[in-house]
A = this chain, B = another copy of it.
Amino acid sequence: MTRLLHLNAFLMNTGHHEASWRLPESDPYAHVDLAHYVRLARTAERGTFDSLFLADGPQLWSNLAQRPAGALEPLTLLTALATATEHIGLIATASTSYNSPYNLARRFASLDIVSGGRAGWNIVTTAGAEAARNFGLDAEPAHAERYARAAEFLDVAFKLWDSWEDDAVVADKAAGVWGDDGKIHPPRHRGAYFSVAGALNVPRSPQGYPLLVQAGSSDDGKAFAARYAEAVFTAQQTLAGAQDFYADLKSRTAAAGRNPEHVKVLPGIVPVLGSTEAEARAAEQVLEDHIVHTHGVDRLENLLRLAPGTLELDAPLPGDLPPESAIEGAKSRYTLVVELARSERLTVRQLIARLGGGRGHLTVAGTPEQIADRIETWFTQGAADGFNIMPPVLPSGLEAFVEHVVPILRARGLLRTAYGPERTLRERYGLPRPANQYLTPAFA
Which residues of A are interface residues toward B (Cβ below 8 A)? 19, 21-24, 26, 28-29, 31-32, 34, 57-61, 63-73, 75-77, 79-80, 82-84, 98-100, 102-103, 106-107, 110-111, 113-114, 130, 133-138, 164, 168-169, 171, 173, 176-181, 183-184, 194-203, 290, 292, 295
Contact = CB atoms under 8 A, between A and B. Distances in A.
A98 B102 CA distance: 10
A117 to B, nearest CB: 12
A197 B72 contact: no
A100 to B, nearest CB: 6
B134 A72 contact: no
A127 B79 CA distance: 29
15 contacts: A19-B176, A34-B113, A34-B114, A57-B201, A59-B198, A59-B201, A60-B200, A64-B168, A69-B201, A76-B107, A77-B114, A98-B100, A100-B135, A102-B135, A134-B196
A14 to B, nearest CB: 10
A169 B64 contact: yes
A65 B133 CA distance: 44
A76 B114 CA distance: 8
B200 A114 contact: no
A71 B178 contact: no
A392 B164 CA distance: 27
Contacts of A57: 201
Nearest to A137: B195
In this complex, the member of A63, A76, A164 whose beta carbon has the largest number of chain B beta carbons within 10 angstroms is: A76
In this complex, the member of A22, A66, A73, A179 whose beta carbon has the largest number of chain B beta carbons within 10 angstroms is: A73
A195 B136 CA distance: 4
Nearest to A95: B103
Given A73-B202, A111-B76, A130-B198, A179 B64 contact: yes
Given A80-B79, A195-B136, A58 B178 contact: no
Given A176-B292, A178-B64, A184-B64, A76 B79 contact: yes
B32 A76 contact: no
